[in-house]
Structure formats: structure tokens, C-alpha cells
Amino acid sequence: MENFTKTAQTKTKANLETWSSKINIREFYVNYGSPCWIVSKDQLTKNVKDFALFTKNNGNILFPVKTNPSLAVLEVLAKLGVGTDCANREEIDLALFAGIPYERIAYNCPVQEVCISANLLKRGAIVVMDDPAAIHQLQDRLKVKPFPGKLWLRINPGVDIRYKNTNDNQELMSHAATSSKFGIPSEDLPELVKTLNMPVSGLHVHVGTQMDNLTSFRNSMAAMHKLAYDLRNTGHPVEHLNLGGGLGIPFMENDDFPSLDHWVEEMQALKEKDFKYYVEPGHALVGNAVALLTRVETIKQSRGKRWVLIDVGTDQLAKVTLLRWPHRILNAYNQPVATGGNDAIAGPLCFAGDTLLDKVNADGIEVNHPLLITHAGAYTFSLSNRFNGRTGPAWVVIDENGDEKRMNKEGRYDNPFLNNYFWDLRQENPPLETISKEKIEDLSSIYLRKWAEEDQYEYLNMTRTGERTYEFDVMTNSRVSFISMPFAIRIFGDAAIVGLLHMMKSDKKEFPIWGRKLIMDCFGQVKTGVPVRIRISFSNPVKELNGTNTIIARYETDCWDCSGNLLIKF
């Protein structure tokens, strides 16, 4: 059983994390190259435990997927029992495949799909709404039928919510300001709930991003308590209060934010025994648990200023450059890059604003030196882009034993191979040419047309290497010297079926299993006639409303000569 008792004296000011100064940056660079995201499971676990002192339950911590949608992060949080706050079906799917069950998923966004809201309530999830029109559409759709999920209303409390230290970005982040688009105005709530026959079991408020003023949280908590009691008097069983997220973290040594310990102590004192409390931390949960390893590409001299140009910039760190939120950068020897000079560290992009840290002293920094950008876990990867054709970094997770687990670069929705664009458009005019059957046969592959049916494979060995991972040794035989894509689909598809059935403890294949989506990359040729080792790993299965299940199988050969994903239904 988790121990949520606090004994240490509370520090009121947040400090920069220390885990990144203890890793060997040069060794990481040699082993994994750059750019590379590094996740500290220990720091992430500590942050979860600290928030759980307030919520009393890891499942009442709802991590906003928009903060960092990396599966490397989501799987760690799933195993810690944390929930998620999701804004659309894609984020819900990420959470489910990472292993987070419906009852720990909250659906919350300004424009909701009512059908998704209804289905989630039927599955036991949380739905947070603030649009009266959508709320009434949901009520019509549910037809007064009871549901196991929780319906919460997001409110705009109309109380004093402000930052202590002002800056130019706060109008972008003040989500609970009286002029904000978010939340039902508290004065409109009594009339709205009179029209509802659905039970409202919770209230939600979110003060804003990078909040440095605890008074804003105190005022929000007091407003929610009052509104909750008012709603109870109208017959709604309000017992869940979600204080949202928003607690800021320092990025540089002189940044001034309340510590997480201090926030917990203050909020704990305001709790009332009649309620269960939830939070949605973003920066304060993952911000200091992720760092970005980078490399110095070149150093340019310009009118007495040294420009240290590295291999990442606004493509991964738009928050840093566009919002002018500089982050601490460690040099190759784990020391903070000295400030107070006339030099700058900048990215590689064709963009004048691509500056990560200005007014530094670049003494001791050399070309090919690794650097580490710390506190980079929130609103970085999720805001990454493909400007100048840049691709995403790999991921490495450092576990509680100090062991390192590498994950390949994550695919993105904007990969040209994955979009639905029909190249060269569709021709509406008469065809330019009709090709004869004889010409088609002259141009076609005799292997695909005739010889492929002779391709054979045999399993030599199968090993379970983890809870959801397998290795197979396979012997192949073909008229051609390499495994073709059609042949590879057969091999990987069958191996995925075998692994899935074994994972489900089935004695033999007795029910249909079929593929719904395939991604395959044959980067190099895999030879036939010799044993081939392939690896299969599975996501967590997701049960659909129609009774079917969906699971993702990742497959790859040694050296990733052939790899990809299968979306499997069963």
C-alpha cells in the first residue's frame, strides 16, 4: 500500500532537477547519438508520488496527453497507475494502447464529439464539458439511461486568478480568466443544471499554464467547494473536484515558482472530507523528468559574437524560442553553460528567431560536443514540427535501476507515407493511353505473378522475452534471394498471430484474427535461405464497444532491415 505521509520540511521555492547532472552526457552521446530525448523514470515517479499526497490515489492524477504524447512517457505513467486527460480520439487511443483503462481517462476539450462522449460514459470514463449546447445533445443521445462513467462540468469561477510575476505570454495561458473561452461562467451554472436529468458528479477548473501564484489555486478551490454544495442542493451527486493543472516549474536557476511540496501542503489544508480530488498536472509532472540531448554542429563568429549552432531548434523547442522561455543547458561536462557573455546557442533552422539561449559564454564548447537541454518534458515534443525537413529525435528511458531502454524515433501524423493524399490527383478527362494485356505481362514481375506462391517459411525457435514481446528464428525459402514485401507480410502477420495467441494463453487458433492496417519499411534486403531473427512487441489490447479487440503489433528484424506496425483485430 502506498504511503502518502509527508515528513520532510517543506521547501517553498522550486529548485531545478538534479538527475540530469548525474548522467554521463558524453557517454550517452556515444551510445545513442543526437538528438535524443532522455526520460528519468525516477523523477517521473517522484512527481507522481508527490501529487498523490494530495489526491490520495495515483489514478486521480490525470496527465494531459497534449503535454507530451510520447508512448515512452505514457507507458511509464500507465504502469504507475496514472490517468490521462485527452482532447480527441487520437489521444484516447494513445492512452488505451499505453495501458491506461477507460476509468482513468478523461475527455475534455472546447469542441467535443458527442458520440465519443456518450461512448466514453458507457465505458466508465470521465467526460468534462463546458458547452451547454453539446451537453444537451449528449443528454438527448443518452435518453436518460444510466451510465457507469462520470460527467463533470468545467467552470469559469469568476474569482481572482492572476500571475504573481507578469510576462507577455500570460494572455495565451490564463485559461480561467473571466474573458477566457474555457468553462461555464459560475453565475450561469444554476440555471443550466436545472435543465439536466443526467447526474453531474464533478466540477473542473484550470487556472492556466506555468502559474506562479498559489492564491489562484486557493481561490479556485474555494469557488469549487461553494458551487459543489450548491449543485448538491439541486439533486446532483457532486463528489469529484478537479483542480486542473497549471503549477509552473523553473527552467533557469533564477526562475521563481512554488515547489510541488509547498503546493501540496497548501492545497491539502483546503480539502474538505466530502470530496475526492483530482489534478491534471503537465509541466509539474513531466517537465523536469525529460531532457533533450543535442550536439554542436558548428560555431560561427559574427562581429565578436559566437553562435553555437546545434542540431535541434524550433522544430522541437518551439515553446523555448517563440515564447522566449530559455531553458538551462548543460555542457559536455554536466555543468550549466555560463550566462552573462556575448554568445548564443541557437538551432539549425532557416529562421532568425531560432535562438535557444542568448547572452552566454561559449568558452570550452567545441564542435561535436554534446549538450543537454533540461526541463524539456512539457509542450516540446507535442509542439514539434517538420520545418526545414527536420525529423524527430529517438527516446531513451532511464529506469529505477539506472538501466537504459532505447525507443526508435516515433512516427508522426504528418509523415507523407501516412497521409491520404492521392498523388498526381485523379484524372477526370479521358485516359491518355490504354495499355495492352501483352504489354502489362512484359512489364509485370514474374515473381509476384507466379513464383511468390512457392515462398515458404518455417519456425526454428520462439522465445518470450518480456510480458508483451517475443523473438522468432525463421528459415525462409524463395525463388528470389531476399524476402519480398508480400512474403514479409505473411511471415510477420503469422508471427504476430502466434505471439498474440500465446500471450492470451490459447492452446490453438480457434477464432478469427485479422489485420486492419499495415505499415512496413523494408529499409534493406533480408536474405532468404538463412535463419532470420524477428522481434514482435504488442501494445496493450483495447476492447471496443462492439465486443472486438484491437492491438498494435510492432515487428522488426535485426538491424531493422524490415520493420513496421500491424493493427490487429480479434
Mind listing the pLDDT tens digit for each residue in 484-518? Answer: 999 999 999 999 999 999 999 999 999 999 999 99
Q: Could you give the CA distance from residue 62 to residue 100 in angstroms, rounded to a whole number? A: 11
Cα 489 from chain centroid?
Answer: 29
Q: How confident is the model at residue 11 (pLDDT cuts 50, 70, 90)?
A: confident
Residue 410 contacts residue 70 (beta carbons within 8 Å): yes
Tell me what pLDDT residue 558 has: 81
* Residue 170: predicted pLDDT: 56
Q: Is the per-residue pLDDT at 1 higher than 80? A: no
CA-CA distance, 219 to 271, in Å (whole number)? 13
- What pLDDT sits at residue 429? 63
When comparing pLDDT for 208 and 356, which is higher? 356
Residue (of 283, 288, 290, 291) closest to 210 by Cα position: 283
Phi, psi of 202 (to 5 degrees): -160, 160
pTM of the model as a whole: 0.85
User: Using CA of residue 161, residue 167, residue 171, residue 175, what is the dihedral sign?
Assistant: negative
Confidence (pLDDT) at 177? 62
User: What 8-state DSSP symbol labels residue 415?
Assistant: -
- pLDDT of 199-222, one tens digit each? 999 999 998 889 888 999 999 999
Whether the predicted pLDDT of 3 surpasses 50 = no
Q: Please report which confidence band the pLDDT of residue 414 belongs to, taking 50, 70 and 90 as the band edges.
A: very low
Ordered structural domains, the chain, with CATH: 101-281 (3.20.20.10), 455-569 (3.10.129.10)
Backbone angles phi, psi at 488, to 5 degrees: -60, -40
Half-sphere exposure of 532 (CA within 13 A, CB side): 27
Backbone angles phi, psi at 9, to 5 degrees: -65, 135
Buried b (16+ CB within 10 A) or exposed e, 487-518: bbbebbbebbbbbbbebeeeeeeeeeeeeeee
Q: What is the chain's percent helix, strand, coil content, to nearest 5?
A: 30, 25, 45
Helix (H, G, I), strand (E, B) or coil at 100: coil
pLDDT band at 368 (very low <50, low <70, confident <90, very high): very high
Per the DSSP assignment, residues forming a β-bridge with 535 are 471, 556
Residue 468, CA distances (Å) to 204, 246, 537, 549 in order:
36, 35, 6, 16
Q: Residue 292 has what DSSP assignment?
A: E
Query: What local confidence, expressed as pLDDT, does residue 409 receive?
Result: 62
Structure-model confidence comparison of residues 480 and 547, the more confident one: 480
**Strands 305-310 and 339-346, how do they pair?**
parallel
Give me the pLDDT at residue 6, please.
Answer: 44
Q: How far apart are CA 67 and CA 286, in angstroms?
A: 8
| 126-177 residue pLDDT tens | 999 999 999 999 999 999 899 999 999 999 988 777 777 776 665 665 555 6
Calpha distance 175→162 (Å, rounded) = 10
pLDDT tens, residue by residue, 311-354: 999 999 999 999 889 999 999 999 999 999 999 999 999 999 99
**Highest mean predicted confidence (pLDDT) among 286-300, 504-518, 535-549:** 286-300
User: How high is the mean pLDDT of the chain?
Assistant: 90
Please give the pLDDT value at position 106: 98
Rounded to whole angstroms, how far apart are CA atoms 59 and 79? 11
Confidence of residue 405 (pLDDT cuts 50, 70, 90): confident
Question: Which DSSP letter does residue 271 get?
Answer: -
- Residue 387 pLDDT grade (very low, low, confident, very high; cuts 50, 70, 90): confident
pLDDT of residue 426: 47
**Which grid cell is 498?**
502466434
Smallest CA-to-CA distance from 308 within 352, 362, 351, 353 is with: 362
How many helices (DSSP H) and strands (DSSP E) are in the chain? 14, 25
Alpha helices in 12-104 (DSSP H): 25-32, 41-55, 71-79, 89-98
Share of the chain above pLDDT 70, in %: 92
Q: Write the pLDDT tens digit of every residue in 241-287.
A: 999 999 999 999 999 999 999 999 999 999 999 999 999 999 999 99
By three-state DSSP, how is residue 539 classified? coil
Question: Residue 301 pLDDT > 90, yes or no?
Answer: yes
Please, which residues have CB within 8 angstroms of residue 401's CB and are 6 or more apart in sequence? none
User: Rounded CA gap, 156 and 23, in Å?
Assistant: 43
**CA-to-CA distance for 40 and 55, rounded, in angstroms?**
23
Residue at 123: amino acid letter: R
DSSP state for residue 413 in the 8-state scheme? T
**Are the CB atoms for 81 and 294 separated by under 8 Å?**
no
The pLDDT, as a whole number, for residue 9 is: 52
* pLDDT (average), residues 69-83: 94
